[in-house]
Structure 1
Amino acid sequence: MTSQIRGNQLARLLGQWHALPGRRRSPDYAALAAAIRGLLADGRLPLGARLPAERELAESLRISRTTVTAAYRELRDSGHLASRRGAGSWTMLPGNHRVAGSGLWTPLEDREMLDLGVAALAAPPELLPAAQAAAADLPSYLGGAGYHPTGISELREAIARTYDERGLPTSPEQIMVTNGTQHALDLVLRLTHSPGSSVLVEAPSYPNALAALHGRRARISTHGLAPDAPGWDADLLLGALRQGRPKLAYLIPDFQNPTGHLMSAQLRERLVATAHAVGADLVVDESFVDLSLDGRVMPPPTASFDRHSRVLTVGGMSKAYWGGLRIGWIRASAPQVQRLAAVRVGVDMASPVLDQLVAVHLLAQGPAIVAARRGQLTAQRDALLGALAERLPEWRVTVPHGGVTLWAELDGPISSALARAAEQVGVRLAPGPRFGLDGTLERFLRLPFTLPGADLVEAVDRIAAVRYDLDRVGRPQWSEPAVIA
């Protein structure tokens, strides 16, 4: 079902549209059309959404209907609006252009490249001793076949304890161990999603999750996040659930990737209640939940508001510990975990026992490891913010209080061109459109602060140099896109 934007909702998204740069040189209708195009370009207004009727929008903006009529006509002429008499007007891009979210290749490793495409830390010093201790524990498992579809009992108990400590009572039977968070998402989709079903996601969102949804032939609709906190517009998000009635919603409420936003407890509660009312399952990605910075107190887990087994939570050790340790998990009801195990048998049988034993030892030291990670990330975030303020002051960045990424609003729709140019000077970037569906988000760039501070400052220096030369470069040299994590 096509989502419908009400007049008051669009007015709130437009904000001070009449005060945009260049406003004095443009008539009212042109300024309004430009503001709506801007909302489409940055992903806050989804494609295929039905806009309010001309009279309704005019009343909400307190302007004449003639102005709205002219603005809608200009949007149709520029290819950003399609209208049908008696049915309404829908947003689109010129030529109805759409960009798929799949088709990634892994580049050859280049140790001289400053890679800002991957938002993950190097391994902590505790990893090697944990691996040695795990190897010593391994003999007790060698007498069996080694297949544990839901995970070894020690690790399931350790993961369940982490939820208990966050105030969400959890039994080991509610945990399935997976080969990373992406694998967890794939198994959840195999259980809950049928090809062609509708799925609601945030815009922007995690590219590999979008690729997984494309792989399952999902019909994806989006809720556009604002660059500024709090990010989610509760009215629009809950309205999208009620209107579209998707089979599934995939959300990242804890330091959202890539924006870094943190969803309030109140919205989490309303979200779960609305999902139950419309019959939607919620897949909640908690990849960054451990990485709260600045002493930020975390809201309760989204699943703590669930009374009807509507929330399936995925998490893992890639962000707070190490991406090379492919350990993730799913928290769901015990019957759902058993159904997931039945689905898994047709995929990969079980996770490696040795890796799981390493995870057990790391989680036992979790508080100390995570505390060190938070201190490291805080210092690196501040180094990146300082470099951006000095070298690229025209860019606008909301300071995240957790996670590992900044979501920068650039001084123009140049994200993809900037990424190509930066590659030539040894910096790999993840341009904004990789986090969306439709070729939008060209004004945005994700910048992780997972590299050492000196490397981040050097990367910003190189980015600034190519940014200022960007308008004078010739035809870009196209290259295969790098993997984003």
Structure 2
Amino acid sequence: MNAEELAAQLGAWKQDQTRLYRGLAEQLRLLIRLGSLPPGSELPPERRLAVELAVSRTTIAQAYSLLKDEGWLVSLQGSGTRVAHAQPAVAPPADYGAAASGFIADVVRDRVRAVDLTVPSPPPGPWLMTAMSRLPALAAAALPGRVYEPAGYPALRDRIAGKLTTDGRVTAAEEVIVTNGATQALSLLAGALTRRGDTVLVEELTCPTVLASLRTAGLRLVVVPIEREGADPQAVEAAVRRYEPSFIYLIPTYHNPTGWTMTEHRRAAVAAIARRYGVPLVEDLTLADTRIDGPLPPPPIAAYAPGAQIYTVGSLSKVCWPGLRIGWLVGPRRELQRIVHLRAMYDLGCPLPTQLLAVELLDDLPQIRLERQRELLRRRDTLLAALAEHLPQWRHESPHGGLSVWCATPRPLQQLNHVAQRHGMQLMLGAHFAVGARSYLDHVRLPFTLDEGELVEVVKRLAGYWVEAGCG
């Protein structure tokens, strides 16, 4: 990575003008932990980076030296400074005991509860217990059948195919693989479509678990800009022609983290690109069943190019309950046969009781969607109202679907994040979603899957932390 590219990723890091090297080291450490600086990548020479960042060479040398001492960077004769291949264990600070005691005192004094805002996790609704009450009778009928079904329980594959057909992608049961969540579906695809070192085209903001999966597979990520109307077809085509990616990965409906939905025109355009160039396209529709209001989203991208190598990934986690771990992969029948064989090397299928439960839930899906929609509407509006009252300087839109609000703030959020962590709150900053040069350190994703009272409390606490961090 050259000095200009690294400077763009670093963003605003000069928070403490008296100890610049520590701020730079902290930001480099963050980029390494997020995977933006993968193991083995070479950092710019000290002199060049100093010129690009408009600081002294001593500042760069001190930052590099600190990270070498901690084990994040290594220097080898003739190969410059590189990211270490093994990240060091993060040791507690010397004053850990005092810090822990202070945190406990805060909890006792202020009755502050630890809050994890990193994963939007919708609570189980009454439909789950209703479906579970039917499980014994379903199991009695299903247990005498086959034990191992690497492609999935036939009745569940049939229900998923029916759902996709209703949503606009005409699908047969033979074109469905049931997976342990959407993450496994994407991992299977990466294993089948790529080899280590291959290129994958993604949006510049995307799901962190997907980023981790693709980077673990040793894939090179090339980005297209994220836009309100969805990925720009011209940018997609230009990237396809230049980089010849092994596949394209997009989140077209209620995009994570922005909440935006790709227009019908752009869906048709990127589908045509996939067919024209013969490049596989993966559309992630795990949030498509979380519509709150606004117009219905267009059909899946695959509906616009029948016969193209377009895969659809989905899940019951977001609309029903994450604990189900039921997802699916839909695609061309011939290609899926190869993926089923690959999947059988890792496991022989999802647990049968969970698949039986998923059959019942899919039968009830129209009602479940409606009940979840009403719940998400209340909670989204509660969060937006609380933000308007307590953090009016934060900018955001009202998403028509999904489980979170994407907020832009007037200042970078590193210091706010430190304060929040000290008080027991875990945030999901924009940098966790960023793939390209821009680090989005002034953005945060806030889920609205807590109940209304908790959402108001969270925003009040954030407002207090904002002031404590010196941002207000």
TM bucket by the smaller chain? Answer: 0.7 to 0.9
Aligned partner of residue 206 in structure 2, secondary structure: coil
> Is 2:265 the counterpart of 1:266?
yes
CA spacing shift, 1:164–1:472, aligned 2, 3 Å: closer
Instruction: Give the Cα–Cα distance (whole angstroms) in 2 for the partners of residues 103 and 382 of structure 1.
Output: 42
Correspondences of 1:5-404 after superposition (within 5 Å): 77-79=51-53, 112-226=113-227, 229-230=228-229, 232-404=231-403
Instruction: Give the Cα–Cα distance (whole angstroms) in 2 for the partners of residues 472 and 187 of structure 1.
Output: 44
Deviations 1:423-445 (A, max 9, x none): 23332211111112368110111
Given that residues 97 and 439 in structure 1 are in contact (C-alpha distance below 8 angstroms), is that contact kept between their aligned partners in structure 2? no
Deviations 1:188-247 (A, max 9, x none): 111111111000111211000000001110011112224xx3353443333223322211
Deviations 1:375-398 (A, max 9, x none): 111111111111111111111112
Give identity over the alignment, percent: 34
State the partner residue of 2:64.
Answer: none
Residue ranges of structure 2 left out of the alignment (5+ in a row)? 1-30, 38-47, 55-79, 91-106
The one-letter code of the counterpart of 2:116 is: D
State the partner residue of 2:104.
Answer: none
Instruction: Give the Cα–Cα distance (whole angstroms) in 2 for the partners of residues 275 and 421 of structure 1.
Output: 46
Instruction: Give the Cα–Cα distance (whole angstroms) in 2 for the partners of residues 162 and 120 of structure 1.
Output: 23
Instruction: Give the Cα–Cα distance (whole angstroms) in 1 for the partners of residues 369 and 342 of structure 2.
Output: 33
The one-letter code of the counterpart of 1:420 is: H
Instruction: Give the Cα–Cα distance (whole angstroms) in 1 for the partners of residues 130 and 193 of structure 2.
Output: 39
Q: CA deviation at 1:145?
A: 4.8
Aligned partner of residue 335 in structure 1, secondary structure: helix
Q: CA deviation at 1:79?
A: 4.9
Deviations 1:312-363 (A, max 9, x none): 1110100000000010001112222211111111111111110000001111
Q: CA deviation at 1:459?
A: 0.5
CA spacing shift, 1:445–1:195, aligned 2, 3 Å: same
Q: CA deviation at 1:98?
A: 8.5
Aligned partner of residue 441 in structure 1, secondary structure: coil
Instruction: Give the Cα–Cα distance (whole angstroms) in 2 for the partners of residues 203 and 441 of structure 1.
Output: 10
Aligned partner of residue 469 in structure 2, secondary structure: helix
Given that residues 121 and 319 in structure 1 are in contact (C-alpha distance below 8 angstroms), is that contact kept between their aligned partners in structure 2? yes
Instruction: Give the Cα–Cα distance (whole angstroms) in 1 for the partners of residues 222 and 361 of structure 2.
Output: 38
Instruction: Give the Cα–Cα distance (whole angstroms) in 2 for the partners of residues 264 and 96 of structure 1.
Output: 44
Instruction: Give the Cα–Cα distance (whole angstroms) in 1 for the partners of residues 133 and 114 of structure 2.
Output: 31
Instruction: Give the Cα–Cα distance (whole angstroms) in 1 for the partners of residues 443 and 236 of structure 2.
Output: 21
- Between the two proteins, the alignment pairs up a number of residues equal to 381
CA spacing shift, 1:96–1:376, aligned 2, 3 Å: farther
Q: CA deviation at 1:460?
A: 0.7
Instruction: Give the Cα–Cα distance (whole angstroms) in 2 for the partners of residues 132 and 423 of structure 1.
Output: 40
Given that residues 427 and 462 in structure 1 are in contact (C-alpha distance below 8 angstroms), is that contact kept between their aligned partners in structure 2? no
CA spacing shift, 1:455–1:288, aligned 2, 3 Å: same
State the partner residue of 1:89.
Answer: none
Residue ranges of structure 1 left out of the alignment (5+ in a row)? 1-40, 48-73, 81-94, 474-485
Q: CA deviation at 1:399?
A: 1.8
State the partner residue of 2:95.
Answer: none
State the partner residue of 2:429.
Answer: 431
> Is 2:467 the counterpart of 1:468?
yes
Instruction: Give the Cα–Cα distance (whole angstroms) in 2 for the partners of residues 384 and 472 of structure 1.
Output: 21
State the partner residue of 1:419.
Answer: 417
State the partner residue of 1:440.
Answer: 439
Instruction: Give the Cα–Cα distance (whole angstroms) in 2 for the partners of residues 209 and 176 of structure 1.
Output: 19
Deviations 1:3-44 (A, max 9, x none): xxxxxxxxxxxxxxxxxxxxxxxxxxxxxxxxxxxxxx9xxx
- Structure 2 length normalisation: TM-score? 0.75
Q: CA deviation at 1:408?
A: 0.7
Instruction: Give the Cα–Cα distance (whole angstroms) in 2 for the partners of residues 273 and 75 of structure 1.
Output: 42
> Is 2:452 the counterpart of 1:453?
yes
Aligned partner of residue 314 in structure 2, secondary structure: strand
Given that residues 382 and 456 in structure 2 are in contact (C-alpha distance below 8 angstroms), is that contact kept between their aligned partners in structure 1? yes
- Structure 1 length normalisation: TM-score? 0.73
Q: CA deviation at 1:136?
A: 1.8
Question: Which region of structure 1 is more displaced relative to structure 2, 133-142 or 186-195?
Answer: 133-142
Which ranges of 4 or more aligned residues in structure 1 deviate by more than 6 Å? 95-100, 102-105
The one-letter code of the counterpart of 1:430 is: M
Instruction: Give the Cα–Cα distance (whole angstroms) in 1 for the partners of residues 215 and 88 of structure 2.
Output: 11
Instruction: Give the Cα–Cα distance (whole angstroms) in 2 for the partners of residues 470 and 429 of structure 1.
Output: 14
Given that residues 135 and 354 in structure 1 are in contact (C-alpha distance below 8 angstroms), is that contact kept between their aligned partners in structure 2? no
State the partner residue of 1:18.
Answer: none
Question: Which region of structure 1 is more displaced relative to structure 2, 391-400 or 134-143?
Answer: 134-143
Given that residues 260 and 406 in structure 1 are in contact (C-alpha distance below 8 angstroms), is that contact kept between their aligned partners in structure 2? yes
Instruction: Give the Cα–Cα distance (whole angstroms) in 1 for the partners of residues 180 and 427 of structure 2.
Output: 26
CA spacing shift, 1:472–1:302, aligned 2, 3 Å: closer
Q: CA deviation at 1:413?
A: 1.6
CA spacing shift, 1:221–1:144, aligned 2, 3 Å: same
Instruction: Give the Cα–Cα distance (whole angstroms) in 2 for the partners of residues 447 and 104 of structure 1.
Output: 28
Q: CA deviation at 1:75?
A: 10
Aligned partner of residue 347 in structure 2, secondary structure: coil
Question: Which region of structure 1 is more displaced relative to structure 2, 243-252 or 344-353?
Answer: 243-252
Instruction: Give the Cα–Cα distance (whole angstroms) in 2 for the partners of residues 260 and 152 of structure 1.
Output: 32
